[in-house]
Chain A
Amino acid sequence: MNEELCEILYDVTGDALEKLAFMFSQRDNAVSSHEADGVVALVTFEGPATGQVVAVAEKTTLQELTGNMMGIDNGDISWEDQKDALKETVNILCGNLLPRIFGSDAIFSIQAPTVITTSELNALCAMHQPSAIVRLNLDEGYWTVYYFQNS
């Protein structure tokens, strides 16, 4: 695990959650590359390097994320909107992470984010060792963010 990449991943994720949804986080050093629970969104990038950024959000955090982003009460939030908020967030993480790692001159193609199962994430972890993982504690639960650089 590359600690410098983990620091960047934590910075980018904390900043995004704060600006998007006023959600404040603390880094938790207890991370594992095997997820048992949570809603998972993945985005794939291609360019000077290829890989994926994956966010695993405890379901309890998604209502707050979505409600704060949209400016609506938690009770009125659909599951579709919660998944959309998570996908948009992982897209933002990827878009902010890559220039921090490769510089702003690098041109990447970022594919549309998708929601995947924890089994699919665990299969990805079995195929590719994550280059960085960070776990963040939020008021409503945890997030784990993975950065895979496959080539």
Chain B
Amino acid sequence: MGMNILIVDDSKVMRQMIIKTLKMSGLPLGEIHQASNGAEGFESLKAHWIDLVILDINMPVMTGEEMMNQMRQQKEYSDIPVIVISTEGSSTRIQRMEQLGARFVHKPFSPEKIRDVVYATLNLEGGS
């Protein structure tokens, strides 16, 4: 059974780059859903079974931080693992996301970094 993943980023090119990297990683993938902001991402969470959320921070309409705060406040979504992939350089903002339980990957990333963080987040064997 593959993992259902939701990718939330306002750049279509970045979403496609993350999908390409996930496919290269050898991760057992199920459905991949995409959203271009936190509000769309939250709607996707309501509509689909999601095993992992990959989230940008700076997005229009609803930021990644706002979406994650909402997820953590609602019991049905509070345990879904989140990986934040962002250009964010402020250690304060990164720590805030980590305190909400997210793992952080800085853009630009290497495919190996994504693979390792995804495997570690999902407690899978196969990362380095």
Contact = CB atoms under 8 A, between A and B. Distances in A.
B93 interface: yes
Interface stretch (B39-47, B81-89, B120-128): B81-89
A87 interface: yes
A70 interface: yes
Interface residues of B, number: 23
Interface stretch (A90-98, A130-138, A141-149): A90-98
Most chain-A CB neighbours within 10 Å: which of B11, B20, B60, B88?
B11
A37 interface: no
Interface string A25-51: 000000000000000000000000000
B89 to A, nearest CB: 4
B87 A95 contact: yes
Interface of B: 10-14, 16-17, 20, 58, 60, 86-93, 106-110
Interface of A: 15-16, 19-20, 66, 69-72, 81, 84-85, 87-88, 91-92, 94-96, 98-99, 104-108, 110, 112
